[in-house]
Structure 1
């Protein structure tokens, strides 16, 4: 049973540029412009009209955009929930300007050991994350630690939780690694790793969407009976001001928005691609978190019920449940 028929999330790529070279990501390899304030302002109005509730300002590294505070202010004026994930290299310099503008602020951290985290990111940034935590807390912000979990670092969850998150009263978000395109993300997560993550997800101030675990046990999305609803739940906008379908990672086709996002999304050509969500050959086995999360939320399936407790828990802790009512 479908609960919501309109898009609920926008993944807004401010730029593909990045000041890190993460081994499990290829976005930073792409040439890219930056979005313009004028385009964002118009697109946000159309996103609101389409029913979108959450805008994830992403990249690349979103803090590279010099007008980021202004972009966030435009979203907040419309009552949209804002999310942002950063490697924290630039956060100390921009923290004051970002204060109060990000509802869900995530600092990426893949190991509680500086050398290990810096190696995975291709640049020294562990110390900047620690500095950013201190600054954010002093400003009254409530950042989360986004921990991308691989087979090789799953055993570091306890140390991350006890040494970094608990002392700073931070939520630890467990983000199971996913495969896409030709990016080498390492071996698939073992059953033991999945069990460990599932156990940690039930602990205080730890967030894990348990539907991610179930989906991996089920072999990901299956095109004959798809769980993915990326096209109908998520609007993807590129730095070139194009609507990307069916999702960023597959990116079969893009459409110039030209200040016409609302009408463009409802056009026959776009809706034809939307209707193929989860059914394209490349969708087989997909378990990409950023598209599965909204997919789980709009339709009553076993994944909906697996995702519900952790979703309620996180939004209660963060206080964002009020904005979702």
Structure 2
């Protein structure tokens, strides 16, 4: 049963450019412009009319955009919940400008070992994460650590939790790695490892969407009976100011927004693509977290009930539930 007919999330790609070269991502390989402040202002107004509640300013590395603080401030002032994930290389420089504008600020960190983390990210950014934690806390910000989980770094969870999360009173977000297109992430987590991850997610100051675990145990999205509701729950906007459907990672079509996102999203052409969400051949076995999370939240299913406790826990820890009322 569908609980919500309106989209809840916008993944707003401010640029595909990045100052890191993560081995499990191909976005940084793409040439890219930067979004304009004028387009953002118009699109935010239309996103509000469409019922969107959360704006994730993403990339690439979103802090490469020189006006990112203005965009975040604009969205925050309009009542959107704002989220941003960064490798933290530019955060210390921009922290003062970003203060109070990001509801969910995530620093990417995949190991307590500097060399291991930097190797996976393709650049030396571990020290920037440590500095960013210090700077953010001094400013009264409440950043999270986003830990992308692979088989090869699963053993690092305990050390990150004990040495970084607890002493700094942070939230640890567990993000199971996923494959898409030609991007490979190595061997997938075994059922036993997924159960370990699930148990770890029950600790204090740790967030893991249990729906992610269940979906992997079930073999991912099934095109015959899809759980994915990417196109109807999430709008994806590119740096070229285009609407991408049915999602960024498997996007088959893009539409120029041309100052009229509201009518475009409700057009017959886009509605036809929404009906294909989760049913395309490439959707078989998909476990892409950023589209599954809103999918779980908008339809009653096993995944809804699996995801609910952890979602409530995170929103309680962050206080973001207040902005949803």
> How many residue pairs end up in the alignment?
325
Name the CA distance, whole Å, in 1 between partners of 2:222 and 2:15: 31
> Structure 2: which 5+ residue stretches go unaligned?
none
1:324 Cα deviation after fit: 1.3
Partner of 2:319: 319
Partner of 1:103: 103
Partner of 2:177: 177
Name the CA distance, whole Å, in 1 between partners of 2:263 and 2:184: 38
Aligned-residue Cα RMSD (Å) equals 0.5
Partner of 2:223: 223
Partner of 1:157: 157
1:292 aligns with 2:292: yes
Name the CA distance, whole Å, in 1 between partners of 2:189 and 2:205: 23
Structural mapping, 1:1-325, within 5 Å: 1-325=1-325
Name the CA distance, whole Å, in 1 between partners of 2:286 and 2:321: 29
> Structure 1: which 5+ residue stretches go unaligned?
none
1:274 Cα deviation after fit: 0.4
**Secondary structure of the equivalent of 1:279?**
coil
- Using the size of structure 2 for normalisation, the TM-score is 1.00
Name the CA distance, whole Å, in 1 between partners of 2:122 and 2:107: 16
1:119 Cα deviation after fit: 0.2
Name the CA distance, whole Å, in 1 between partners of 2:128 and 2:64: 15
1:156 Cα deviation after fit: 1.0
**Secondary structure of the equivalent of 1:153?**
helix
Name the CA distance, whole Å, in 1 between partners of 2:200 and 2:52: 31
1:76 Cα deviation after fit: 1.2
Name the CA distance, whole Å, in 2 between partners of 1:305 and 1:77: 32
Name the CA distance, whole Å, in 1 between partners of 2:19 and 2:115: 18
1:78 Cα deviation after fit: 1.0
**Secondary structure of the equivalent of 2:152?**
coil
Name the CA distance, whole Å, in 2 between partners of 1:155 and 1:297: 30
1:212 Cα deviation after fit: 0.2
1:196 Cα deviation after fit: 1.1
**CA offsets 1:13-53 (integer angstroms, 9 cap, x no match):** 00000000000000000000000000000000000100000
